[in-house]
Every structure is written in C-alpha cells, then in structure tokens.
Amino acid sequence: MKTQDFEQAIDALSIEIDEMYLVSGYGDVKAAWGHTQSQYVKWDEFGRGFSAEIPEERKGHFDLDPRHEVDEWTRAEEFDLKFE
C-alpha cells in the first residue's frame, strides 16, 4: 500500500503516526508505528495491527519510540487498517 493510503487509514483510527518504513523507490509502506495515550501500535505492510502497552513512566512523553521500546507485540485486530 502507498504512504497516502496508510496515512488516511491510520488517521481514521485517531492514532498519532510516529514513523513509517518505505520500500525504496516505490513509496509502498513496509511497516508503520504510532501510539495512542496508552498503547504503542504497529502495522505490517498489509495493515494488520499489533499493540503493546506504554509503560506508565513513558506515558505523556513526546519522544515515544515504539520501534526500540517494545520487545513483544500482541496481535490487535481492533487496530487493523481499513483501506478504501
């Protein structure tokens, strides 16, 4: 999926986007990370959602980095992206 498709689908879930990995030269998303107030969220290239709890001491920080702060992700269908 293209970057714009991912951005629109993530915005529809009201989740803040932290980072996207793109396939070089194509603009397709390989993976994306974001967060809510209490959870880190990750998507694979198909838009399947995964989540992990934000530790209490990290909640409210502006420099959240789910790529490096989470060791284990749980499959979270409620965060699956719906592409139009």
Residues of the domain holding 31: 3-79
pLDDT band at 1 (very low <50, low <70, confident <90, very high): confident
Where is 49: in which H helix or E strand? strand 49-53
Residue 84 included in any domain: no
Q: How many domains does the chain have?
A: 1
More confident residue, 6 or 55: 6
Kindly state the average pLDDT of the residues 52-59.
83
Residue 49 included in any domain: yes
Residue 65 included in any domain: yes
d(CA 12, CA 82): 9
pLDDT band at 30 (very low <50, low <70, confident <90, very high): very high
Residue 26 included in any domain: yes
How are strands ordered across the β-sheet holding 16-22?
16-22, 29-35, 39-44, 49-53, 74-75
